[in-house]
A and B are shown apart, each in its own frame.
Chain A
Amino acid sequence: MTPGSRRRLVLAGGAIVVLCGFGFLLYGGIGENLVYFLTPSELLARGERAYDTPVRLGGQVLPGSVRWDAEALDLRFRLTDGTQTLVVRSTGAPPQMFREGIGVVVEGRYREGGVFESTNLMVKHSNEYRPPAPGERPQDLYRTLLGEERS
């Protein structure tokens, strides 16, 4: 075996190992262990085990469900994945993009009273970038959210 052909063999071997690694990443079990957030359905499917454990929950803010108390900085809304819906309670002002219908990920614990107590509210933006429609001002929706409770 010449040094050249041996080198090529080592190179080919290395390439196969790397490709197998990628195949495993793609189709192997690692995807199931890398769950950044649960959906309301998945959390509820845990039954008793769902309560009081720190977890991330993701979904959409159900339109018409947002209750914001500007004095107490207390925010309540329903989080839905289209099948199941959970009540989320969060304290502190939400990020400025927060509005009805937008995607959010909340960190906190699900309590036995049936309320998810969030300690961290994150807004998940879509991949769409559009100027406001004629007559609409940017971030108007957030302002109406604040205005509603004050008036």
Chain B
Amino acid sequence: MPGSFVPAVVSRRRYQILGIIALAALVGAELLGLSASPPDRDMGHLQKIMYVHVPAAWSAFLAFFVVFIGSVLYLWKREERYDLLAAAAAEVALVLTALTLALGSIWGRPTWGVWWTWDPRLTTTAILLVMTVGYLALRSFVDEPDRRARWSAAVGILASLNVLVVYKSVQWWRTLHQVQSSPSTVDPAYALGLRLNALAFLLVLVYFILLRYRAARLERLVEAQAEARELAQGEELHV
């Protein structure tokens, strides 16, 4: 019944409120980070890129975690909403991974001296990006909803497991990218801005996933209505 999942699609107004809060938090956290922290000993004010590059990477990882959960739940329960949740999260994960690479590149040029190098951290992240593009391409190639959901759940699990390799790459292999920072290696003067920006990115992440999930539900609703119409026309012809 197409009508049965209309109430589940939450009204747009509630999303807009969350969106405004997320945007305000992001602007506030960025301004605080930019104005309230001293230049770094080695890289001066270039350190400020940390406030966008690192939260982008963290929230990309979280988005992939949602892809993983959605994909596993779909294979287990076979309920469409889990497939749509994984798809919505994958779209956001793609944007955030691309953003992480772009910001990292902008940070790398003045500090490392290069826009790009094929070190294991950068290479595995590029693979993750390509796999996510593959996941979304697969979704648009398969028309039959059940088969699309099954196949993309498998690819979604593989792609999101790749996050573990990206995360551990700096420990497993020699890289130009440094290993993870921790509260003991980041001065409190920078940690506050980083945490607040991470929180703001988290809000943006939730907002984007909800927005794309809603769009996916509406798309399926339209698809189901079109199918029902065709079916009804077919029956009329047979009668």
Contact = CB atoms under 8 A, between A and B. Distances in A.
A138 B110 contact: no
B157 A131 contact: no
A124 B186 CA distance: 17
A96 B47 CA distance: 13
A96 B40 CA distance: 13
Contact of A125 (B111, B165, B174, B186): B111
Interface stretch (B96-104, B176-184, B199-207): B176-184
Given A34-B120, A95-B112, A18 B43 contact: no
Contacts of A133: 41
B105 interface: no
Contacts of B189: 131
Given A25-B165, A127-B179, A129-B190, 20 more contacts: A14-B154, A31-B173, A36-B176, A37-B174, A96-B43, A96-B110, A97-B42, A122-B112, A122-B117, A123-B112, A125-B42, A127-B180, A128-B181, A129-B181, A129-B185, A129-B187, A131-B41, A132-B41, A138-B44, A139-B44
Contacts of A14: 154, 157
A122 B50 CA distance: 19
Interface in A73-120: 94-99, 102, 105, 120
A130 interface: yes
B164 interface: yes
Given A34-B120, A127-B179, A138-B41, A121 B113 contact: yes
30 contacts: A11-B75, A11-B76, A18-B157, A18-B158, A22-B161, A22-B165, A25-B165, A25-B172, A26-B172, A36-B120, A36-B174, A37-B174, A58-B174, A95-B111, A97-B43, A98-B113, A102-B42, A105-B176, A122-B176, A124-B178, A126-B178, A127-B181, A129-B47, A129-B186, A129-B187, A130-B187, A131-B189, A132-B38, A132-B39, A138-B39
B33 to A, nearest CB: 12
B159 to A, nearest CB: 12
A26 B169 CA distance: 10
Given A31-B173, A36-B173, A36-B175, A131 B110 contact: no
B114 interface: yes
Q: Which 5 A-B pairs have the closest CB atoms?
A: A95-B113, A131-B38, A138-B39, A127-B181, A127-B178
A34 B40 contact: no
A11 B77 CA distance: 13
B146 interface: no
Interface string A10-31: 0100100010001001100001
A131 B180 CA distance: 19
A79 B175 CA distance: 17
Nearest to B158: A18
A136 B41 contact: yes
A58 B40 CA distance: 24
Contacts of B112: 95, 97, 122-125
Nearest to B76: A11
A35 interface: yes
